[in-house]
């Protein structure tokens, strides 16, 4: 059938200036042949990283399998271009997975301010990075609309045609803080690795673009009756169980009707979208999981039902705790759209040793999706019994669709290992589940339980402790070498005997 034909002919990049884009969704025969081609190859198995510690490397995980999928279809240049783009646009992230690229923001950069700098904003890609020339680019809108259209970037950017908006938006991978779920119990490995995210798969930017609702109205004359979902198709190539797709997701029309909540955006923090963020055009869907904010969107379909694309239909599903490989189906999990209230302590880091004078400073982020804003942040120094509210002046300003960063000095008397946690209350009075297990789920999504860290408290305001710190220093040691036993004797024989004789180890009678 396809033997002898070069891959470039079987799976062509048809559009000039659209490197890395192959059309799959309107090419069923091409899809069929791709499935046949994939069947002829062996691919590296998905790595097991949940039952064992994560490798101490950077990138942490290597996407062998997805690289091989691309190579098998003649798309190795997409793999290479993606990594070049990472090195140019995201050199400083923690590289969780090299391809498709998944990288998270480091703690210092997370806390830098309400707005995350473009080069520090996290990335969760599902495929390679296409390299599309803005002038050659166009967006097609079809399906249940009055008038299918094809729009150039210069049309979309023309304020005469479409009024522009700027919205401050926090985007979050629904896998944020997934590592906590993995440590608790391993879950679905997924073909496209369920990346072991920490607290940095979240970021905030000001996006400029046009409201999708307005584009649908002005360019297409509105939607037709029966349209319930808007499907977004991205130029990246996606794989699922031996089949090939363009990335496709959808959001309800009801969501799109809110003008400022679903944006076609080309600008991020005053700059053109970085290539890795979807240049030249992406969706920004406020309050939803990041996966719906389709990058490199080149087609929008107005549909009667949600997208049948695997990302929408078969992934980002929220299962009960008792669902797993033995009984999971696509219809027994619910679709994750709005993100719930959640938060994280970003500094200090867990297992740090903190020398203080009766107060420990904690800093972090709090966020809620679905248009709920962050109402109150509370921090506990004792695992969740006593809660201190963050003073309002210690929070960044409220937004409908963005996080609030916070800082608090928590009174701490006790020494030794303490458990700190945070919980946030949103404007619908939602707060967070107590423990990871309280909301663990097979696909390891939405880790919104109270974020917990362990800190070793050394209260220097206690005279005996202050003295010990000095003695350690005199011996060239430090409390920071916590597990290293002091080289000096902790008390003299005389002190020991005096204490022993005052309080013998056994009763006398």
If binding is defined by CB under 8 A, does position 327 make contact with a second copy? Answer: yes
Q: How many residues bind a second copy, per CB under 8 A?
A: 75
- Looking at beta carbons only, is 12 or 324 nearer to a second copy? 324
**Is 330 a residue that touches a second copy (CB under 8 A)?**
yes
Answer yes or no whether residue 486 interacts with a second copy by CB under 8 A. yes
**Of 78 and 339, which has the nearer Cβ to a second copy?**
339
CA distance 143 to 302: 5
Q: Is the dihedral of CA 183, 335, 194, 205 positive or negative?
A: negative
Long-range contacts: 322-329, Cβ < 8 Å, 24+?
323/441, 323/442, 324/187, 324/188, 324/442, 325/188, 325/442, 328/188, 328/442
Give dist(CA 202, CA 332) in Å, integer: 27
Q: Distance between CA 339 and CA 336 in Å, rounded?
A: 7
CA distance linking residue 419 with residue 434, whole number of Å: 13
Based on the shown chain and the rule CB under 8 A, indicate whether residue 358 belongs to the binding site for a second copy.
Answer: no
Rounded to whole angstroms, how far apart are CA atoms 425 and 432?
8
Residue 191 interacting with a second copy (CB under 8 A): yes
Nearest Cα to Cα of residue 123 among 80, 152, 87 = 87
CB atoms within 10 A of CB 475: 11
Residue whose tokens read 């192959």: 22
481 in helix, strand or coil?
A: coil
Distance between CA 419 and CA 383 in Å, rounded? 5
* The only residue of 3, 160, 493, 494 in contact with a second copy, by rule CB under 8 A: 493
Is residue 304 part of the contact set for a second copy (CB under 8 A)?
Answer: no
Residue with tokens 């408290």: 457
Minimal distance in Å, beta carbon 464 to a second copy? 6
Q: Is 361 in the site for a second copy (CB under 8 A)?
A: no
Return the number of the residue (276 or 479) whose C-beta is nearest a second copy.
Answer: 479
58 is a contact residue toward a second copy (CB under 8 A): no
> What CA–CA distance (Å, rounded) separates 404 from 365?
6
Contact (CB, 8 A) for 96 and 185: no
What single string gives the DSSP state of each residue in 171-226? EE-TTTTHHHHHHH-----TTTT-----TTSEEEEEEEEEEHHHHHHHHH--BPTT
Residues of this chain, 442-471, that bind a second copy according to CB under 8 A:
442, 454, 456, 458, 462, 464-465, 468-469
Question: Is position 254 an interface residue for a second copy (rule: CB under 8 A)?
Answer: yes
Binding status of residue 231 toward a second copy by CB under 8 A: no
Beta carbon of residue 310, minimum distance to a second copy (angstroms, whole number): 9
| Max Cα–Cα distance, the chain, nearest Å | 98
What's the min distance (Å) between Cβ of 129 and a second copy? 25
Q: How far is the CB of 105 from a second copy (least distance, A)?
A: 24
Q: How far is the CB of 111 from a second copy (least distance, A)?
A: 23
Q: One symbol per residue from 376 to 415: x for binding a second copy (CB under 8 A), - otherwise; what is it?
A: --------------------------------------xx
Give the interface segment with a second copy, choosing from 86-94, 105-113, 387-395, 494-502 (CB under 8 A). 494-502
Report, in Å, the least distance between residue 46 CB and a second copy: 6
Of 270 and 486, CB closest to a second copy: 486
> Which range in 14-22, 212-220, 361-369, 490-498 contacts a second copy by CB under 8 A?
490-498
Residue span 10-49 as binding mask against a second copy, x where in contact by CB under 8 A, dash where not: -----------------------------------xx-x-
Give the residue from 280, 274, 272 showing the smallest Cα distance to 123: 274
Closest CB 9 distance from a second copy, rounded Å: 29
- Shortest Cβ distance from residue 477 to a second copy (Å)? 9
* Distance (Å, whole) CA 316 – CA 337: 8
477 forms beta bridges with: none
**3-class DSSP state of 453:** strand
Shorter beta-carbon distance to a second copy: residue 3 or 326? 326
**Measured on CA atoms in the order 182, 80, 172, 93, is the torsion positive or negative?**
positive
Task: Work out which of 180, 188, 236, 261 binds a second copy, going by CB under 8 A.
Answer: 188
- Contact between 489 and a second copy by CB under 8 A: the answer reads yes
């Amino acid at each position: 059938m396809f033997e002898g034909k070069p891959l470039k002919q079987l799976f062509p990049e048809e559009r000039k200036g659209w490197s890395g884009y192959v059309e799959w969704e309107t090419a069923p025969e091409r899809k069929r042949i791709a499935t046949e081609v994939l069947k002829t190859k062996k691919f590296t198995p998905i790595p097991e990283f949940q039952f064992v510690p994560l490798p101490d490397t950077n990138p942490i995980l290597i996407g062998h399998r997805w690289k091989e999928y691309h190579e098998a279809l003649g798309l190795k240049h997409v793999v290479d271009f993606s990594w070049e783009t990472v090195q140019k646009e995201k050199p400083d992230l923690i590289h969780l997975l090299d391809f498709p690229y998944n990288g998270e923001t480091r703690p210092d950069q997370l806390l830098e301010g309400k707005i995350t700098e473009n080069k520090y904003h996290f990335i969760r890609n599902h495929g390679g990075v296409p390299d599309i020339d803005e002038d050659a680019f166009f967006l097609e809108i079809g399906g249940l609309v009055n008038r299918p259209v094809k729009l150039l970037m210069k049309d979309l950017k023309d304020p005469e045609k479409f009024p522009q908006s700027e919205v401050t938006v926090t985007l979050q991978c629904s896998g944020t803080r997934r590592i906590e779920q993995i440590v608790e119990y391993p879950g679905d490995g997924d073909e496209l690795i369920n990346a072991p995210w920490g607290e940095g798969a979240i970021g905030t930017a000001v996006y400029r673009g046009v409201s999708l609702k307005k584009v649908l109205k002005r360019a297409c004359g509105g939607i037709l009756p029966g349209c319930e979902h808007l499907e977004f198709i991205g130029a990246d190539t996606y794989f699922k169980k031996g089949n090939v797709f363009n990335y496709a997701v959808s959001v309800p029309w009801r969501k799109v009707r809110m003008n400022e909540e679903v944006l076609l955006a080309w600008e991020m923090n005053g700059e053109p979208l970085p290539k890795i963020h979807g240049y030249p055009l992406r969706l920004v869907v406020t309050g939803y999981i990041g996966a719906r904010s389709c990058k490199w969107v080149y087609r929008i379909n107005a549909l009667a039902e949600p997208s049948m694309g695997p990302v929408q239909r078969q992934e980002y599903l929220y299962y009960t705790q008792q669902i797993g490989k033995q009984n999971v189906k696509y219809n027994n999990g619910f679709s994750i759209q709005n993100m719930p209230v959640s938060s994280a302590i970003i500094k200090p880091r867990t297992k740090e040793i903190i020398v203080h004078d009766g107060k420990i400073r904690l800093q972090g982020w709090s966020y809620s999706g679905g248009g709920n804003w962050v109402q109150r942040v509370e921090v506990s120094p004792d695992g969740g019994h006593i809660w201190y509210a963050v003073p309002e002046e210690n929070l960044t300003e409220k937004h409908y669709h963005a996080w609030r960063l916070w800082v608090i000095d928590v009174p701490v008397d006790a020494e030794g290992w303490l458990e700190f946690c945070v919980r946030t209350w949103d404007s619908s009075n939602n707060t967070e589940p107590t423990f990871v297990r309280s909301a663990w789920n097979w696909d390891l999504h939405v880790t919104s339980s109270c974020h917990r860290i362990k800190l070793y408290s050394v209260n220097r305001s206690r005279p005996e402790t202050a003295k010990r710190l000095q003695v350690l220093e005199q011996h060239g040691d430090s409390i920071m070498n916590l597990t290293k036993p002091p080289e000096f004797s902790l008390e003299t024989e005389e002190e020991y005997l005096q204490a022993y004789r005052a309080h013998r180890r056994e009763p006398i009678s």
